Structure 1
Amino acid sequence: MASVNFMVLPGVYAPQEDTALLTGALSDESLPPAASVLDVGTGTGALAVAAARRGARVTAVDVSWRAVCAARVNAARSGVRIRVRHGNLFTPVRGETFDLVLANPPYVPAPAGGRRPRGAARAWDAGHDGRMVLDRICREAPALLRPGGVLLLVQSALSDPERTVGHLREAGLKAAVTRRRRIAFGPVVRGRERWLRQRGLLSLAENEEELVVVRAEQPV
């Protein structure tokens, strides 16, 4: 990922620590030949490019037209072929199945949790508990996985990874947290740090955010 100078358009989520953490999890996966991979919420296309470089047939989806444009340009600049679709989460790939689904969804709890985020905030604001999109992924992703297929999802500890694992297990998948990384607060978390502490999502002693990767596998 670091070797590519990705184009980042205004309002498109730039590759950050969560992208790097998920890229590392992707590198651990042994993909079948010509694997079919879905990168949902692709942003600049960084994860989609990483998968395509391994010979996968990649579909990337984003609700932002600017992200769709950025992903297409970055794929071309990286010398890989990626099918990029505009749409809300899994809607553009209804009826398709994949060997691997990658997801870096919005996951930061937001004070104005009842309102749909707009503009760039769509990349991080995820309702009062941070699970506006996570719960939908837990409901809908299992149907997109082929037997033996894998979902790799990155989220913050602020939005209850154990709930994610529980929902995926209830759907019949083998699920667990496989990677963790603590990072300094970014501008979004810093801007609502007091609110997060008041809600008990951050303790008074915490001065870092924990990111995790959840891996879930469809039984064969």
Structure 2
Amino acid sequence: MTALVGPGPRPDLRLFRPPGVYRAQSDSAVLAEVIRRGGHASGRHVLDVGTGSGALALAASRAGAASVTAVDLSLRSVLATRVNCALHGARVAVRRGDLFAPVAGRRFDLVVANPPYVPAETDDLPRHRSARCWDGGVDGRLVVDRICAAVADHLSADGVLLMVHSAVSGPGATVERLAAAGMTASVVLRTSVPYGPVMRERAALLERRGLAAPGESVEELVVVEARRAR
């Protein structure tokens, strides 16, 4: 089990997490808090893309969503999400597949995403290792850009995307990609957190590429909000 910690010192949710499933950390907690405080999920039909252990799907359900659908390519993540939703009494439809493929033709009022975004050595994304949960290719944007390109086709007329990722992955590029896809986007939250295990492991790589200062140990997380342009 792992704890998703909210803004206070006590665990907010306890989640079942088998090996190979993303451990909900600060990025998940930050986005969950944005969802809660902004009332974004209340009465809305919500899609959680790349759900992992289901942390954001559960956050949306607890925030009063009318319905929640969670998608992940990993079979282990799908099973973990189903277990966690059952444990917490949340009615969530869980589907296995690549990003939006399992919900083709459907539109949602809110799409939430905490995609893999950590810069890696290559653009060859792992398929069967834990690193698939965080590797985002050389610039950290392979999955982020795919979401930017496709999300507008899955939003209702007044639908909203909320996506969290690291500042090292280029929030400006995210806003630009979403604009190119016909959306109005902006960074609505920036917050700094200590490096987690993956960022500590990649610190030397980030320094070599000029994405982090020597000895850096704090990461800036951003939440990007986007709406279909009218």
TM-score higher than 0.5: yes
Aligned match of 2:111: 101
> So what's the TM-score if we normalise by structure 2?
0.90
- How is 1:59-98 mapped onto 2 (pairs within 5 angstroms)? 59-98=69-108
Look up the equivalent residue of 1:96 and give its one-letter code.
R
Q: Could you state the TM-score of these two structures normalised by the residue count of structure 1?
A: 0.94
Work out which of the residue numbers 116, 120, 126 in structure 1 matches 2:125.
116
Once the two structures are overlaid, the 10-residue window that deviates more, 150-159 or 181-190, is 181-190
Q: Residue 148 of structure 1 aligns to a residue in which SS? A: strand
Return the letter of the residue paired with 1:72: R
Instruction: Give structure 2 stretches of 5+ with no counterpart.
Output: 5-10
Q: What CA distance in whole angstroms lies between the structure 2 residues aligned with 1:10 and 1:179?
A: 31
Alignment equivalent of 2:144, drawn from 134, 142, 146: 134
Q: Amino acid of the residue matched to residue 117 of structure 1?
A: P
1:24 to 23, 28, 33: 33
* Alignment match, 2:8: none
- Unaligned ranges ≥5, structure 1: none
Q: How many residues align?
A: 219
Q: Which has the higher contact order (CA 8 A, sep 6+)?
A: 1
Shift of 1:36: 1.0
Look up the match of 1:49: 58
Partner AA of 1:147 in structure 2: A
User: Deviation above 6 Å: which 4+ runs of structure 1?
Assistant: none
Cα distance, 1:77–1:145 mapped onto 2, change above 3 Å: same
In the TM superposition, residue 137 of structure 1 has moved relative to its aligned partner by 0.5
Aligned to 1:125: 135
Name the stretch that deviates more: 66-75 or 114-123: 114-123
**1:45 aligned partner, one-letter code:** G
Q: Give CA-to-partner distance per residue, 1:134-169, whole Å, 9 cap, x none.
A: 110110001111111000000001110100011112
User: What aligned pairs does 1:26-41 form with structure 2 within 5 A after superposition?
Assistant: 26-31=35-40, 34-41=43-50
Distance (Å, rounded) in 2 between the aligned partners of 1:141 and 1:82: 20
2:199 to 186, 189, 192: 189
Q: State the alpha-carbon separation in 2 of the partners of residues 95 and 150 from structure 1.
A: 17
- Asked if 1 retains the 8 angstrom alpha-carbon contact of 2:200 and 2:217, the reply is no
Report which stretch shifted further, 24-33 or 56-65.
Answer: 24-33
Counterpart amino acid of 1:165? V
Partner in structure 2 of residue 10 of structure 1: 19
SS in 2 for 1:133: helix
